[in-house]
Amino acid sequence: MGLPLLYKPVVSEFKDVREASFDLETDEVVTVYASVCLWTQLVTPSSLNDFMKCIKELDPSLMVVNEYEACTDTLNFIDRFYGSLIYAMTVFDCLENCLKGDPLYWKIIEEFLRGVIRNIITAEDEERIYWHAKIDFWRNLFAEFDMMEMELSDVCKYQAKLLLKSNSSWNNCTLDMEGKCLIVGWKGTPLQSISAWKINQIGNSEQQDDSPTVKS
């Protein structure tokens, strides 16, 4: 596309992210893409809150969030076990189909997921590091920081469907809408959520339904 790009690492830890960490110009437009990373801060809510405060200070024109659509953040063992069981079964079924039995990649992923599942089910308190929450949790969190959810355009949804059709291994992948959020699933079981957000400016709190449409 002929675009000049510059990659500048800022920090390596969520807890160290500050507005001052970014060398922004006065007229620079800021967008944020958070891909399956916010869940890592559920174990330390204070770090997650600090990060969200930083996002609000940056006042991005758009924030796109991609997160696991699973519920393993409950203290109730039965609910946690059931949530992790359904999610793990779906992930393994998906990988078995998509990897076509590739022994190398399958072994690597299987060993990683084994540790995740063991931690979710058996670890307690500070020893449990894998927490996942569904879109309703993120909606409530973002609302606390005056962020409003935006509609995904029909173009975005159409391109997502075209992407799935480009690979026969993804035939069982499903796309559903949960409100304004796109839910990516496998055979109907949710796996990930994709949503778009914008800072709700003062005086616009009653105009969320009229918010602009996100286009690709």
Residue-wise pLDDT tens digits, 146-203 = 999 999 999 999 999 999 989 888 889 999 999 999 999 999 999 999 999 998 875 4
Q: Where are the beta strands (DSSP E) in the chain?
A: 31-35, 62-68, 147-152, 173-178, 181-186, 189-199, 213-214
Confidence of residue 14 (pLDDT cuts 50, 70, 90): confident
What is the C-alpha separation between 106 and 95, in angstroms, rounded? 8
Asked if pLDDT for residue 89 goes beyond 80, the answer is: yes
In a domain, 6, yes or no: no
Taking CA atoms, 83 is separated from 28, 72, 78, 133, in Å, by 42, 6, 8, 10
* Amino acid identity for residue 155 in this structure: V
Q: Which residues constitute the domain of residue 181? A: 30-214
In a domain, 134, yes or no: yes
Asked if pLDDT for residue 47 goes beyond 80, the answer is: yes
Asked if pLDDT for residue 23 goes beyond 60, the answer is: yes
Give the chain's domain count.
1
Task: Round the average pLDDT of the chain to a whole number and report it.
Answer: 86
What is the C-alpha separation between 164 and 173, in angstroms, rounded? 7
